[in-house]
Structure 1
Amino acid sequence: MVKAISQAAIKSVQPIQMVQNNLELKGELLKVGKGNQQQVIDLTQKRCHVVAYGKAVVGMVAAVHSILGEKIVSGIASIPTNIQKALIANGAQDLLPGPDSVVQLCEGAYMNIPDEACLNTSIQIEELICQLSAQDLLITLTSGGGSALLCLPIPPLTLDIMADTTRGLAKAGANIVELNTVRKHLEILKGGGLASLAHPARVVNLILSDIVGDPIDCIASGPTVTDTSTSADAIDILEKYLTSQQIHPVVMDVLKRDLKSEMIRPQAEVAQVDPLNIVIGSNSIALEAAVQACHDHKILSVLITSSLCGEAQQVGRDMAELARRILQGVGDTHYLEGLFGDTLDMSTEMKTSLEKELQAEVQKSKKDNTPLCLLFGGETTVHVMGSGKGGRNQEMCLSALISMEEFSLPDDKVVFCSLGTDGQDGPTDAAGACITPQCMLGNSLNARLSLSNNDSYTYFSELHEGKNLLRTGLTGTNVMDISILLVRP
């Protein structure tokens, strides 16, 4: 059941439909966006170019090509290694652009790590945009994963230095906003750099968001968005998480000399370029589809948050505690009190309203003997202390599993799953995992050792021959994670 709900959520944010909802061509007039955001661009005597980067942009390119066709004169897309093969294997070849598309699809960044392939693609993108004039329209397509796939370090920085820096920050627990703030000041195209180099061309950016709150300056590190952060902010982040010995001296030199400002136009000029940035898809849309799927399956549901964050192990423990409270609580139980940290940092009125909704649905579930589905969206972090293999969703599930067994929760009363909507959780071939309280077969010691070593993937691979892992393959979209807690009070 939870797998069907998660599949409905992922299906709702497939990129082709998201683009078609926000891009319409009538004659020579291109309508971009919806409602108050909509702008109309006259394409008469305009040359159209496409630049794309991210895990979900293959389908976005296909959609733009289906709308603009021969009006596109050139284009380059930086996409994940093997994604075309994966889409075909999953029967999603409709996400691939047709053979007459002029947009080059260039694969790279294997396991979401920048490599020579995506570096070469980024150089080609830089060369393309630097040739544009006022007669050109540049349509950029942005999705999660763009930070890795659009990677052009400021000399003398190298890919290895960038990889060591971002890997060190991620292992120390830096969140995606902090990571991308550092990247903006160490790379040419990020933090408004792409828009600056494309001047004086008109720039339109369609975005699939993979960050809580949809901050457009952080998604893929904001290549077309004026950067309000400073190199001093990047230094503060580095010093917050890393020792001086862990920070490469070249990194500090680039930041202290603010070399990026010497390579592109000042941020004030980026603002004058005035790119049109529109978020066309987000985690909230996927959660709404999950709510509808619950309704279709006659399951009660409560959307708890689209801003789930925090350390994955702690969030997993909170999921187990929430299930315990629902199974053992009474009508006036404050089910969410003290759980999920800053995720539920909302006004008193909003939190009271959410608690009342949850209390009502729990009582209805008990009365009608109907499952209750609690929905969460967002993205947690992992503080890497071990040498194992896994991802934030698998780590959250393993942590929840250990706590559920501690609470002796009945196996037929709780199901929990968490997965990345892109189909890849960490450097693994799994999107996430799905568990019930007793599925560890009493081997709690091994589970705890695996969790302390950040080795959730190995644990779930060996448990029940890997049947608890969710392997969706690359999905062609990316709007953070979906977590589903199904309880039968």
Structure 2
Amino acid sequence: MKLSPQRQLLEQMFAAAVEAAQPAHCVPRYLPEAPRGRLIVIGAGKGSAAMARAVEDHWNGPLSGLVVTRYGYAVPCQRIEIVEAAHPVPDATGLATAGRMLELVSALSADDTVLCLFSGGGSSLLALPLPGITLEDKQEVNRALLRSGATISEMNCVRRHLSSIKGGRLAAACHPAKVVTLIISDVPGDRPMDVASGPTVSDTTTCEDALAIVDRYGIKLPAHVRQVLESGSGESIKSDDARLASIETHVIATPQLALEAAARVAHAAGFTPHILSDRIEGEAAEVGKVMAGIAHQVAAHAQPFDAPCVLLSGGETTVTVRGHGRGGRNVEFLLALGMTLSGEDGVYALAGDTDGVDGMEEIAGAYLAPDSLTRARALGISPQHSLSNNDAHSLFLALGDSLVTGPTRTNVNDFRAILITN
């Protein structure tokens, strides 16, 4: 199928955003000095294996390590062991690997350095619950959080306070070794404690905060899990803990970096790019309606920008699951955008997750054209029903407009581009 010029341009912008955040580009300049003792490399996330490969390619001295990534996201390494585990709901492999990771760093000296590599997805991949909490408990909590509509920051707050490795606990286990953490951010605001739920940084939130989130979204916890939060026994590591005195943290790739790369592609093609924000949150469908209103204003009144232009944004929206469809916050955003635009001439869009997985699907996102919903209705597909059933993936698949990238081996959150040609 030959792609339209508009779709080609939008896909080129997405590709540029993903390429800008590739570990091969951003890891080497942040590597630490060679320690007097050992260098141990550990990590978790969808980009962690590619980060490990970048370390191996640019490190001349001895090293060893262990990294866990999502199934299908492994990259061959010679000296760092790469393990694949489940995401977004953790499995026994992730549990076992997290335990091994703690053992690996438990007997180090002040002459050693632990190089930690974290990217989006690390929270699920690095699953090691507190004593008394089972893997099954963690799986059910994860499923409930994913369905609830909670933000990524809220979800990770709860995860930190039910974990034996997150919320600074991994860094504490490394003491007295030096800890250097490299982060590819997939969270709005790029706060290190929210990427992979902050295994090597102090946590400003509390068990009380986590309990408030659970109650706010009506999440039913097993009694023994709730007791961990109510009693405060799941409290994370705070900034005054002496074991965190020798940590060094670098955020090496961000959503903003990716959006700026996409903006350069748009500019080269003759479209003025406007980055609206790198940290948009909220219900995906509601964000779609708001973005449609802005696109309408540009197309009809040349406000606040003149066409031709591209509106770029990042961040992480949420979906409160009420239907039985295939989910996906980026395609839900796109479908709501299209329904509000109502076939507005000259407005095209693409939305996708830079890790290549939108929701539970091995699909990054989708493309929207002015005639997309008309074509869907001609196939007997109701856009309104698809939206209310959280089933936008099925609609865009039927149109042949899904964006399928395969594993990108990085993750700088959601990417949204609205192209306005006239």
In structure 1, C-alpha distance between the alignment counterparts of 2:265 and 2:328, rounded to whole Å: 26
1:78 pairs with 27, 52, 68, which one? 68
Unaligned runs of 5+ in 2: 1-8
Residue 191, structure 1, aligned to residue 167, structure 2: yes
Residue 402, structure 1, aligned to residue 352, structure 2: no
Contact 1:192 1:270 in 2 (8 A): no
Residue 458, structure 1, aligned to residue 391, structure 2: no
1:347 is aligned to none
2:313 is aligned to 376
Deviations 1:422-475 (A, max 9, x none): 11101001100111122123655711111101111122222x2xx210001110
Residue 248, structure 1, aligned to residue 222, structure 2: yes
Matches within 5 A, 1:426-445: 426-441=359-374, 443=376
Q: Give TM-score, length-normalised by structure 2.
A: 0.93
1:337 is aligned to none
| 2:410 partner SS | coil
1:105 is aligned to 82
Deviations 1:48-104 (A, max 9, x none): 0000100011121011112224420x20000111223xxxxxxxxxxx344xx2211
Larger radius of gyration: 1
Residues 240, 181 of structure 1: alpha-carbon distance in 2 compared, 3 angstrom cutoff: same
1:56 pairs with 24, 44, 47, which one? 47
2:6 is aligned to none
Residues 141, 270 of structure 1: alpha-carbon distance in 2 compared, 3 angstrom cutoff: farther
| 1:58 partner SS | helix
Residues 270, 175 of structure 1: alpha-carbon distance in 2 compared, 3 angstrom cutoff: farther
In structure 2, C-alpha distance between the alignment counterparts of 1:484 and 1:189, rounded to whole Å: 37
- Which amino acid in structure 1 is aligned with residue 41 of structure 2? V
Moved more, 289-298 or 141-150: 289-298
In structure 1, C-alpha distance between the alignment counterparts of 2:242 and 2:120, rounded to whole Å: 22
**Displacement, 1:266?**
6.9
RMSD of aligned C-alpha atoms?
A: 1.8
- Which amino acid in structure 1 is aligned with residue 344 of structure 2? L
In structure 2, C-alpha distance between the alignment counterparts of 1:4 and 1:218, rounded to whole Å: 29
1:471 pairs with 404, 409, 415, which one? 404
Contact 2:272 2:309 in 1 (8 A): yes
2:110 is aligned to 134
1:5 is aligned to 13
1:224 is aligned to 200
| 1:21 partner SS | helix
In structure 2, C-alpha distance between the alignment counterparts of 1:241 and 1:256, rounded to whole Å: 17
In structure 1, C-alpha distance between the alignment counterparts of 2:105 and 2:178, rounded to whole Å: 11
Residue 448, structure 1, aligned to residue 384, structure 2: yes
In structure 2, C-alpha distance between the alignment counterparts of 1:232 and 1:274, rounded to whole Å: 28
Residue 212, structure 1, aligned to residue 184, structure 2: no
| 1:440 partner SS | helix
Residues 185, 205 of structure 1: alpha-carbon distance in 2 compared, 3 angstrom cutoff: same
Q: Give TM-score, length-normalised by structure 1.
A: 0.81
In structure 1, C-alpha distance between the alignment counterparts of 2:270 and 2:128, rounded to whole Å: 50
Q: How many residues align?
A: 411
In structure 1, C-alpha distance between the alignment counterparts of 2:238 and 2:264, rounded to whole Å: 46
Unaligned runs of 5+ in 1: 24-29, 31-40, 85-95, 334-354, 366-370
1:90 is aligned to none
**Displacement, 1:218?**
1.2
Residues 310, 238 of structure 1: alpha-carbon distance in 2 compared, 3 angstrom cutoff: same
In structure 1, C-alpha distance between the alignment counterparts of 2:238 and 2:362, rounded to whole Å: 41
1:258 is aligned to 232
2:23 pairs with 2, 8, 15, which one? 15
**Displacement, 1:265?**
7.2
